[in-house]
Structure formats: structure tokens, C-alpha cells
Amino acid sequence: MYNDSIPGGEASSADAEKGFASESLSEPGPGIATPLSQSQTTALELQPSHHSHPKSTNFPLSFWKWATKKSNSPSDIDTNPPPDGGLQAWTITLMAHMVGFNTFGFVNAYGVLQSYYVSRFDLPPSTVSWIGSLSAFLVLFISTFSGRLTDAGYFHQTLLLGTILQLLGFFAASFAKTYWQVLVAHGVCIGVGGGLIFIPAISLVGTYFTTRRSLALAICAVGNSFGGLIFSAILQSLLPKLGYGWTMRVCGFVIMGSMIPANFLLKPRRIKRNKAPLIEWSAFGEPVYACFSVGMFFGMVGMWIPVFYLGSFGRDIIHIGTKDASSLLLIINGVGICGRVIPAIVAARFGPLNLMIPLSLVSGLILFCWAGVSNHTEVVVFDVFYGFIMAAAQGMFPPSLGSLTENLSKMGVRMGMVFSICGFAVLIGNPLAGALITLDGGRYLYAQMFAGGAMTLGVAFLTAARVLKSGWSIRARV
């Protein structure tokens, strides 16, 4: 409209305006914002900005990728034989030792809490023992699933989840007020968490060793006794001073301090693992494995009864003080450290199962002798002998099963299956012993005979497994 109003000057005015407009677009003045051409806009879009913000990560997607990432991808399989030593192998052993410290170490200290729970909730021993028995059962029973997850390549995910659940159980138990709250936090949560970390770590050690496997697994087993010693001392000293809540929190912080490095340093070997079901039912068709499993079941039924009831036996039958009764657990776990180390040194020469059978037999005989204990001195002597022999026999369990397992890729599944069977033994044995104590009017004779008989019956099946494996030859190293 502007050009139409000036006659005779349309062309010159239009040309002038076009020239001015093009000049203005090509050389804009300072502070003047001008529209950009399509080519300029495209160039700027392709040029990276120096002030751009970092891209936001998709956390759910990243977590899912990590959770489904396997540690034994077929493209990176280690075909070398186990190193049987070296810095990494012994570091793995040390971390697995700490896992045993945090799981069965706390189970071994349960006797202190058994006496505390009985007085706090005013319940019979058989009822209270369900807390510790359920926790120990779940540590062992969940091993079937955690062992299979380890063989499937989900070691790191399983270990982390177990660590979180275990810590959650300790801190939840510290706020519990009723029996059922303690049963869920201590019995269920701590038990499930322990089951997710125990077998993955122990089975990992077996893949790093050959001739030194018995020694390495025995070092791991020392963690059970060492943890029982430390946790018993913590519970005994802090319960009267800080109360139940802060005592459980202290135990939780101890576990946190040891499990954080374990999650970083435990690393599975990238060995070829055959696909296997959750439970290898065909293994029970092997007479050697079946007899070993049954033997461990009966052995575990009787083995843990003194660990749960020796403190209350000292207080109620021997009439010693509460502190001295709790100290019996310190003794049984303290001598257990030596009991696990010494046999491990000679196991490589004589064979772990060859040592486990006589050690289990002596343990059963000592349990029968428990019925003759009548004073403080005698109960301490029983405590020392049983603690040493029982720990030695128990320490031979993982290497004995390892010597019977020829295919290392099935180590996690088969060990987890036997541990689950042992879990049912602990779940049944300790509450049944408590019921026998009540049936006997508060006396312990029925429970003592039951423990010794179950342990001795287990030895018969272990002996059968050994004979089926290598015959009657004494020189055969199994």
C-alpha cells in the first residue's frame, strides 16, 4: 500500500527499499534482533551449544539394564583353570569370610537374644525359638534360589538385594515392640537377606580354587564362628547399657561396614555355566548326593540345639548368672575359630569328607555327654569340647560337598539345595527341642538325647555317601 500511494516512483522506491532491507538483514546493527533464514537456522541447530545442560538420564531404564545384565555372557568366557591362589582369589575368600560373619555369625549369637526374648515377652522357650529358627531356616532355604541366580549370572544383583534386606531387618527390629514385629523383622527380613548373600559368596570361592579349595572354604566358615564371637560380645555388653533398639542398630552398622566393600570386591569368574532348572531333581537320583543330603539334614537337626539353648541351660539348670550364661556362647564361638582352621589345614591331604565323618560322630557322642553336666566347671568343659569339634565338622560341610561335585557350573545349585534341606532341619530341630524341654518339666534330658541321636543318625548317612563314592578304602581321599 505504501508504494501505491507514490505515483511515478514505484520502481525506484521499491528497489531502494529492497536494497535497504537486504542490507539490514545481512548486517544488523548492534542490539537489533532479526529473523534468521532457513539455512542459518539449520546451521545453528547443527552447531553444539557451549552452554547446553547435560542430558538427563532415564533412571528406570538404566536400573533395568543393570538388573538384567549377566556376569557370565557367552562372549567373554574364561576357559583357564581356577587360579588356586593369588591376590584376587584370596580377596574373594576374605570377602566371603565376612559374608559368613554377617549371616551365620549372627545366627550363632542368637542364644543371647533367646534368653532376652524369653524374659522380655514372657513366652515359653519353644515359642521364642521360632525367631532364631525361622531366620536360620530362611538363610538356608533361600540358598536354593540365590544359588540358581548366581549360576544364571545375576550374582551382583542378588548380593545387593540381600544386603539391603538384611540391613532393613536390623533397623526395623530395633524399633519393634511386640513378638510378631520381632518375628517379621528379625526372623523373616534378616533371614531372607542372609539367604540371598550367603550361598552366592560361598559358591563363588569354590570356583577360584582346586587343591586349596578346602582351606579357602574353611576360611570362609571361620567367619561363622568369628561373627558369633563378635556379635555375642556386642549383645552381651550393649543390651544392659544401651537397650535392645540401639544394640540392634550397632549390629546393623557393623554389617553395613563389611558388606559395602564386599559388594564391590566380590566378582564371579566368567566360566561357562550350563542351563539348569531351579532345583536339579536328578541330583537326588544320585545315591552319593542323596545320602549326603539326608546325612546333613539329621546332623543339622541336632547340631544347633546347644547354640540356642546352652545359655538358658546354664541359667535354669546350673543356676549361673545371666552374664556367665551368655559367656557360654562366647566360648563356643571362640574355640570354634580354631576348630574350623586346624582341620582345614589337613583336609587337603586326607579329604574333607574323610574328616567330617569322625568329627560328626564325636560331636554326637559329646551331645549325649551333655546329660551328665551338673555344675559350672562341667558346662564350660562341655562348651569347649563341643564348640571345637562341632565347628570342625561344620567347617568340612562346604568342601565335602565340593569334593562330591564334579561339574563346577552346578556348584551353586547343588550347594543351595543341600543348604535348603538343612534349613528345614534347623526349623524343625530347635522348636522341637524347646517342646521337649517343656514336656520334660523344664529339664533338658529329652532334648539332649534327641540332639545326640539325630547327630549320630546323620553320621550313618554320611558314611554311606562316602562308601558309595570311593568304597571302603581308607586311603581314598574324598
Q: What percent of the chain has pLDDT over 70?
A: 80
How many angstroms separate the CA atoms of 139 and 137, rounded?
5
Among the ranges 108-112, 361-365, 411-415, which has the highest mean pLDDT value? 361-365
Q: Is the pLDDT of residue 230 over 80?
A: yes
What average pLDDT score do residues 328-334 get? Answer: 86
Q: Which is nearest to 153 in space by CA: 217, 58, 76?
A: 76
* The pLDDT of residue 207 is above 70: yes
Share of the chain above pLDDT 90, in %: 32
**How far is the C-alpha of 174 from the C-alpha of 247, rounded, in Å?**
8
- Give the residue from 134, 138, 195 showing the smallest Cα distance to 162: 195
Cα separation, 355 vs 172, whole angstroms: 41
Q: Are 432 and 371 in contact (CB under 8 A)?
A: no
- 158-162, 217-221, 277-281, 332-336: range with highest mean pLDDT: 158-162
More confident of the two residues 391 and 30: 391
Q: How many CB atoms lie within 10 A of CB 172?
A: 19
196 Cβ contact list (under 8 Å, min separation 6): 142, 145, 146, 158, 159, 161, 162, 165
User: Which residue do the cell numbers 566347671 mark?
Assistant: 377
Cα–Cα separations (whole angstroms), residue 172 to 31, 228, 260, 410: 64, 21, 19, 36
Residue among 215, 271, 243 at smallest CA distance from 402: 215
| φ, ψ of residue 51 in degrees (nearest 5) | -115, 20
How far, in Å, are 122, 162, 252, 256, 303 from residue 168 at the CA level? 26, 10, 9, 11, 29
Q: Under 8 Å CB-to-CB from 49, ≥6 apart: which residues?
A: none
pLDDT band with cut points at 50, 70 and 90 for residue 391? confident
The predicted structure's pLDDT at residue 9: 44
Measured CA angle at 377 (ends 371, 379), to 5 deg:
35
Q: Which pLDDT does position 273 carry in this prediction?
A: 61
Given a cut of 60, is residue 140 above it in pLDDT?
A: yes
Listed range (34-38, 190-194, 290-294) with the worst mean pLDDT: 34-38
Query: Is residue 41 over pLDDT 50?
Result: no
Mean pLDDT over residues 339-352, rounded? 78
- Could you tell me if 429 and 379 are in contact, meaning their C-beta atoms sit under 8 angstroms apart? no
pTM for the model stands at 0.74
Where does the pLDDT of residue 81 fall: very low under 50, low under 70, confident under 90, or very high at 90 and above?
confident
First-to-last alpha carbon distance for the chain, in angstroms, is 107
The string of pLDDT tens digits covering residues 237-270 is 999 899 999 999 999 999 999 999 999 999 887 7
pLDDT-derived band at 323, boundaries 50, 70, 90: confident
pLDDT given for residue 277 in this prediction: 67
Of 129-138, 207-216, 363-372, which range is least confident? Answer: 207-216
Predicted pLDDT at 364: 93
Does 172 score more than 80 pLDDT?
yes
Mean pLDDT, rounded, for 273-284: 72
Q: What tens digit of pLDDT does each residue of 398-415 get?
A: 778 877 776 666 766 777
